[in-house]
Amino acid sequence: MRHIMLTVLICCSFEIVAQERETILDGEMEISYFGGLTLKFTNIRGDITGLIGGQGGVLINDAIYLGGAIGSTVTEIGGGYSSYRYGGLLLGSFVKPNEAIHYFADVGLYSGIMSSGGSRFSSAITEKFSIIEPNIGVGVNLNEKMKSTLGLSYKLVSAIDNNDISKKDVGGFSLNGSIIFGF
């Protein structure tokens, strides 16, 4: 009985090996580039804050992207702080990117900094921290070279170097929008 089972398993394994495997990088790999503007609305120190920035990088087969992103506040953030900036790596993927309306998911690995302007009577305060920001959303192909995205992300903050701010002061949900140009 063992010999029969072993023979059946070996025959089945040849059938599995004989099938062609499909992968996302099959055939010719198409590499292009992208860049665009981003706008985020997030909660920093209890106030809704607007951030404007940019992103860019390499796009593989119109589906997988690897690049970078930067951003800075365009509104007051309160609590004695005058600016918030971030920058770092961006890794993500589009699901069915050639359809007019499609989905995406990405994660940003950023370094962030908040600073106060200081005055004649007080010195400037600088807070540094790390951010991991997963983002999901929907994209719309506007034409062959341009798309618009709308997403929701959550900032996970760590490695804050000062006790004046906490993770919840900087972390939390963000509403993100972007216009991306492909080259």
Helices (H) then strands (E): counts for the chain: 2, 8
The pLDDT > 70 percentage for the chain reads 78
Taking 70 as the threshold, does the pLDDT of residue 113 lie above it?
yes
pLDDT band at 98 (very low <50, low <70, confident <90, very high): confident
Please report the pLDDT score of residue 122 as a whole number.
60
pLDDT band at 33 (very low <50, low <70, confident <90, very high): very high
Give the whole-angstrom CA distance, residue 159 versus residue 130.
6
Beta bridge partners of 36: 55, 180
pTM score, whole prediction? 0.77
Beta bridge partners of 86: 71, 112
Torsion of CA 120, 122, 123, 125, to 10 degrees: -130
Please report the pLDDT score of residue 8 as a whole number.
61
Closest CA to 61 of 102, 106, 94: 94
